[in-house]
Chain A
Amino acid sequence: MITLDHVDKTIGELPVLEAVSLRVRKGQFVCLVGPSGCGKTTLLKCIAGLRTYQGEIRIDERLSQGVNPMIGYVFQEFSLFPFLTVGGNMEFGLKIQKVPRKERNDIVRSLIDLFLLQGFETAYPHELSGGMQKKVAIARALATDPEILLMDEPFVSLDAQTRNMLQKELLRIWQKTHKTILFVTHNVDEAVFLADKVMVLTRRPATIKSEFPIDLERERDRTSSEFVSVRKEILRELEEEYVEQVDKGYKGI
């Protein structure tokens, strides 16, 4: 479980996060959507222990300090280690934890199977398609079996087909592994397709604007009327943020 209580963050003089409070229950899939540049990435990095902040972040009731082995992280960038093979990337965290070789091999093999990457174990990242690289990055984050997975717009640079395919894959893996997932995106369609709950962030300084529980049966039909109407509502919320941003800009002039 992830609990944030009044988390503030300023970078230099600039307030980026303001009194962010949220809760992600164990095993829940929560999506955060917000206008671009609103501080979504910063929020995830604070939770991961990669940034300092004011306020409280608790992981399973325990106050989080620094990097936490219970948290896996998937970056927005293609962040695989280019000098390691697919297998080498997957076992990186295990090697750091000094897991014996035999066990490492077993885990890598099961991840290869889980992510349908058979035959690519010894390939280098540059030999893989963008979608496959993303799968390996998720597998790398899952290798050490963290309870929580933080995902920062992981599918942002992929084409629409690959993106849809990976969303389905991710749901399949989530249902199999029962991880707690906090997934950041600016794509409302993606959020409604994936999440148990969608949280909308305001423009910078970001705070939680509203929450939408999504009670639709999976696998969700993106064209169903319920899907479309939730999407519409969330989009309207988001648009308000953009409109206000523009208004503010004009006043500034």
Chain B
Amino acid sequence: MRTHKVFIVLTFIAAWEVVAVLVNSRFLPSPLLVGATFWGLLSSGALLQHAAVSLARVMAGFLLAIAVGLPLGVLMGWSPKMENFSVIIEMLRPIPPLAWIPLAMLWFGIGFQSKAFIIFIGALFPILSNALLGVRETEPYLVEAGKVLGASDSQILQTIILPNSFPSILEGLRIGLGIAWMCLVAAELTGLKTPLGLGYLIMEARDLGRADTVMAGMIAIGVIGYVMNIALKWMENRLVRWKP
């Protein structure tokens, strides 16, 4: 299995090398050149600095989305009255996070806050709707089983519904974090006060016609997103050992 995956990656890189040699354009750099550029950015510390700034923006928006989306989703899944509010959510949800960029800039300028806001919008909906679904889809007989054992409504929420929807909630966090990371780059492409961030690195490289740096930045984004996803999956498996 593992050797299979390595083989596929190596084949992909080899194909890329062949195409790059055939096309022979400075806008399609070879994997070797991109690798060298990546290594240069990494060893100078520049890449880490860009990534750290980007990560801070993502975490700010992501944590805010959790703080708002989780309680709201749980409440809406639990209370039929609150569920009526889901019509607002359903209307806001199809609007792409990037369509919020102009408003974000008007409201918060081009600083940290507007980036965090875009990321918040992107991460909010999957977190909210997964929490809502997890709570709403708790089997009615589990709730009744709690009732006949004497549990009050709030005890049923805390000791049955929440733990039972935990896998769905975690899944929402994972999807939310992925979307947050994707929104970040687009948000950074719009303009910045401080010349830092992976999106900024890519934009600046484009202005200079440095396709190799653009690609190195893209790879950094891919790797970080991949690692974050794996970390959350690992956490999920550790925390939800009761799932078949």
Are A126 and B244 in contact (CB-based, < 8 A)?
yes
Check A83 against B166 for contact (C-beta < 8 Å): yes
Instruction: Give the contact stretch, choosing among A66-74, A107-115, A195-203.
Output: A66-74
CA of A124 to CA of B164, assembled, Å: 13
Q: A124-B242, A126-B242, A126-B244 are in contact. Are A75 and B149 (CB under 8 A)?
A: no
> Interface extent on A, as a size class?
20 to 34
Residue A227 is within 8 A (CB to CB) of chain B in the complex? no
Interface of B is mostly: helix
B203 CB to nearest A CB, Å: 46
Q: Which of A167-218 contact B (CB under 8 A)?
A: none
Contacts of A95 in B (CB 8 A): 159
Contact at A69–B144, with CB atoms within 8 Å? Answer: no
B145–A69 contact, CB under 8 A?
Answer: no
**When the two chains form the complex, which single residue of B142, B241, B242 contacts A79, counting CB atoms closer than 8 Å?**
B142
Q: Which residues of B contact A161 (CB under 8 A)?
A: none
Within the complex, the shortest CB–CB distance from B205 to chain A, in Å, comes to 48
B139-152: contact bitstring with A at CB < 8 Å (1 yes, 0 no)?
Answer: 10110111111110
**Interface on A for B, CB 8 Å cutoff?**
45, 48-50, 67, 69, 71-73, 75, 77, 79, 81-84, 92-93, 95-97, 124-126, 140-141, 144
21 pairs of residues in contact across A and B, judged by CB atoms under 8 Å = A48-B148, A67-B147, A72-B148, A73-B144, A73-B145, A73-B148, A75-B141, A77-B141, A79-B144, A79-B145, A81-B164, A83-B240, A92-B146, A92-B159, A93-B150, A95-B159, A96-B149, A96-B151, A126-B242, A140-B149, A141-B148
